[in-house]
Amino acid sequence: MNNGCDKPTARRMTRQRRIILDMLRADPSHPTADAVYRAVRKRLPRISLATVYRNLDLLDREGLIERVRFDDGPAHYDGHVGPHHHVRCVVCGQLADVPPEFCQLCPGELDRSTGYELVSCHVEISGVCPKCRQVRRDEAARNEQTGGRAPQKQK
């Protein structure tokens, strides 16, 4: 997605920071700092977790990435900084972007119904991700096969 956010803002972008930024922009999975660390280490084997945290923090403050946090979970990092909402899986904690049409309805709608001008918007949407839904479907199918009786044989 192109939001015109690619203007060269960072003056002294270190190689580490560039690699972390590029990685986040190419990764739609909204990784946690730990996941960023594991991925970045493949390219910079000697980088420390503290350095990854510091760079994520700087990138966030520069507005080049977005830190996304649902109240009880770890922070996730997003290379896509345009206004958008996230849906979080209640089973595995994975985040996904909500399609932009969803937020574009908000400002006008809010103004019309409350008279408020929208300044910022944080919506917490929970769901079950496609992977976890598949696991649930498989489990349900297995339970159906055994008819609720104790499973005696494995197939």
Positions that interact with Zn ion (CB under 5 A): 78, 89, 91-92, 94, 97, 129, 132
Least distance CB 155 / Zn ion (angstroms): 26
- Measured from the CB atom, the residue of 20 and 78 that comes closer to Zn ion is 78
- Measured from the CB atom, the residue of 9 and 126 that comes closer to Zn ion is 126
For 13, residues 6+ apart whose C-beta sits below 8 A from its C-beta are 21
- Measured from the CB atom, the residue of 134 and 146 that comes closer to Zn ion is 134
Least distance CB 132 / Zn ion (angstroms): 3
Two structure tokens written together for 5: 């956010």
Helices assigned H by DSSP within the chain: 15-26, 33-40, 49-61, 101-104, 106-114, 130-145
- Measured from the CB atom, the residue of 41 and 60 that comes closer to Zn ion is 60
Phi-psi bin for 73: left (phi > 0), alpha (psi -120 to 50), beta? beta
Least distance CB 6 / Zn ion (angstroms): 17
Least distance CB 149 / Zn ion (angstroms): 29
Q: Answer whether 16's CB lies under 8 Å from 44's CB.
A: yes
